[in-house]
């Protein structure tokens, strides 16, 4: 088990066998997603599906052309939701965390506990009052209905507060002595210095927004043009005529940004979280 000594040949062989078996079982759905969108149903609807069949882009063309659940507007909505939530989390969390760490506030401690307490509230517990509230605002047909309840986030405040607190206080003092105001300090010194945490929050927030399901399901139930890709995939699957190739093509489109983020952003995610939340 120790990483110091290289494992012997028997242990290595066992390790590789176990990892390969696990990879085949756990990653077959990923392989099916990636290849299935390029296969016709005659290859897919077999047991097991023939992944080396007649490659074609017909399913992608079909998925983008079908008008039952238009995917391009849903893609636009998903992008809107992911980006707006990401930017809003960054702005609200940065400002609040800055105030909690660097500004004197009479309510510093109670406010921090309040932010922390909101992390403990499962969103599903308050989804009913929020849905009624947003509907009563009369913006149920606007894209903003998809993001309005999620513009601030207690976890974001917590994550950035931890990062800001670890920022060397000597630097803060030096900047103050040099006459550096709060805004200048925040934007030119603190934020660049806390890039790992900022990047982690950005990746996490975008993933949250992009993959959100319950809320867009409620909002789009009264107006189909507010489908995000997540609810569109469900709507496609509920449609009996959808063939597996078309579904998998749709899912691949849904996965593109998240797959890229998981492949290239996981370093930031782990660094940001392990620095802030784990330790």
Partner 1 sequence: MSRDDLSTERDVSAMSTVSNTTFTERPPDGPVTLTDSGSVSPSVISRWNPRELLLTMLFLAPAVAGLGAFVIFPLFQAVYLATMGSDILGNPTRFVGLQHFAELLTPDFGAVLLRTAGFTLIVVVAGVVLPMALAVPLSQRLPGMRVFRTLFTLPFAYSASAASVVWLLMLNPAMSPVNWLLQLAGVSAPGWTTDSGWALVTVAGVTVWMVSGFNLLVLAAGLAGLDEQVLEAARIDGATGVRNFTSIVLPMISPSLFFVIVTTTLTALQSLGQPQVMTDGGPNGATSTLVYSIFNQAFHNNNSNYGLASAQGLVLLIVGVLLAAVQFGVIERRVHYR
Q: Is 142 in the site for partner 1 (CB under 8 A)?
A: no
Q: Is 266 in the site for partner 1 (CB under 8 A)?
A: yes
Q: Is 95 in the site for partner 1 (CB under 8 A)?
A: yes
Name the segment binding partner 1 (CB under 8 A); options: 59-67, 69-77, 79-87, 90-98. 90-98
**Residue given tokens 């990746």 in the structure block:** 203
Q: How far is the CB of 210 from partner 1 (least distance, A)?
A: 7
Binding residue for partner 1 (CB under 8 A) from 47, 52, 138, 240?
A: 47
Cβ-based neighbour number of residue 161 at 10 Å: 22
Dihedral, CA atoms, 34, 40, 45, 50, nearest 10 degrees?
-60
Q: How far is the CB of 61 from partner 1 (least distance, A)?
A: 20
Cβ-based neighbour number of residue 275 at 10 Å: 17
Q: How far is the CB of 224 from partner 1 (least distance, A)?
A: 15
Binding residue for partner 1 (CB under 8 A) from 71, 74, 131, 249?
A: 131
Q: Is 23 in the site for partner 1 (CB under 8 A)?
A: yes
Q: Is 42 in the site for partner 1 (CB under 8 A)?
A: no
Binding residue for partner 1 (CB under 8 A) from 10, 67, 177, 241?
A: 177
Residue by residue, DSSP assigns the chain as --SSSPPPHHHHHHHHHHHHHHHHHHHHHHHHHHHHTTS-HHHHSSSS--TTS---SHHHHHHHH-SSS-HHHHHHHHHHHHHHHHHHHHHHHHHHHHHHHHS--TTHHHHHHHHHHHHHS-GGGSHHHHHHHHHHTT-TTSTHHHHGGGS--HHHHHHHHHHHHTS-HHHHHHHHHTT--HHHIIIIIIHHHTHHHHHHHHHHHHHHHHH--HHHHHHHHS-GGG--HHHHHHHHHHSTT--HHHHHHHHHHHHHHHHHHHHHHHHHHHHHHIIIII-
Name the segment binding partner 1 (CB under 8 A); options: 53-61, 65-73, 138-146, 241-249. 241-249
N residues, the chain: 279
Please report, as residue ranges, which positions from 64 to 83 form the binding site for partner 1 (by CB under 8 A). Answer: none
Q: How far is the CB of 200 from partner 1 (least distance, A)?
A: 12
Binding residue for partner 1 (CB under 8 A) from 52, 138, 241, 278?
A: 278
Q: Is 240 in the site for partner 1 (CB under 8 A)?
A: no
Q: Is 201 in the site for partner 1 (CB under 8 A)?
A: no
Q: Is 159 in the site for partner 1 (CB under 8 A)?
A: no
Q: How far is the CB of 117 from partner 1 (least distance, A)?
A: 8
Name the segment binding partner 1 (CB under 8 A); options: 55-63, 68-76, 102-110, 138-146. 102-110
Q: Is 254 in the site for partner 1 (CB under 8 A)?
A: yes
Q: How far apart are CA 202 and CA 192, in angstroms?
A: 14
Binding residue for partner 1 (CB under 8 A) from 64, 73, 83, 172?
A: 172
Q: Is 168 in the site for partner 1 (CB under 8 A)?
A: yes
Q: Is 174 in the site for partner 1 (CB under 8 A)?
A: yes
Q: How far apart are CA 210 and CA 230, in angstroms?
A: 8
Closest CA to 68 of 192, 212, 243: 243
Q: Is 21 in the site for partner 1 (CB under 8 A)?
A: no
């Amino acid at each position: 088990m120790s990483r110091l000594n290289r494992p012997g040949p028997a242990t290595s062989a066992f390790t590789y066998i176990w990892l390969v078996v696990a990879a085949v079982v756990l990653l077959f759905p990923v392989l099916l997603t990636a290849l299935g969108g390029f296969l016709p149903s005659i290859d897919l609807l077999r047991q097991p599906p023939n992944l080396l069949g007649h490659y074609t882009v017909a399913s992608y063309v079909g998925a983008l052309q079908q008008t039952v659940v238009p995917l391009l507007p849903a893609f636009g909505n998903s992008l809107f939701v992911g980006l707006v939530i990401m930017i809003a989390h960054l702005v609200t969390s940065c400002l609040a965390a800055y105030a909690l760490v660097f500004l004197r506030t009479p309510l510093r401690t109670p406010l921090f506990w309040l932010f922390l307490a909101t992390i403990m509230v499962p969103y599903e517990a308050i989804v009913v009052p929020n849905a009624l509230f947003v509907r009563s605002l009369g913006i149920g047909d606007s894209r903003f209905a998809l993001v309005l309840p999620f513009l601030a986030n207690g976890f974001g405040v917590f994550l950035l507060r931890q990062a800001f607190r670890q920022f060397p206080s000597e630097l803060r003092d030096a900047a103050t002595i040099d006459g550096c105001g709060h805004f200048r300090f925040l934007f030119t010194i603190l934020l660049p210095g806390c890039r790992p945490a900022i990047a982690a929050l950005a990746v996490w927030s975008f993933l949250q927004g992009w993959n959100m399901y319950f809320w867009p399901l409620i909002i789009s139930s009264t107006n189909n043009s507010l489908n995000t890709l997540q609810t569109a995939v469900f709507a496609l699957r509920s449609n009996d005529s959808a063939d597996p190739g078309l579904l998998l093509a749709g899912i691949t489109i849904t996965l593109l940004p998240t797959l890229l983020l998981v492949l290239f952003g996981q370093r930031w995610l782990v660094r940001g979280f392990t620095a802030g939340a784990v330790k």
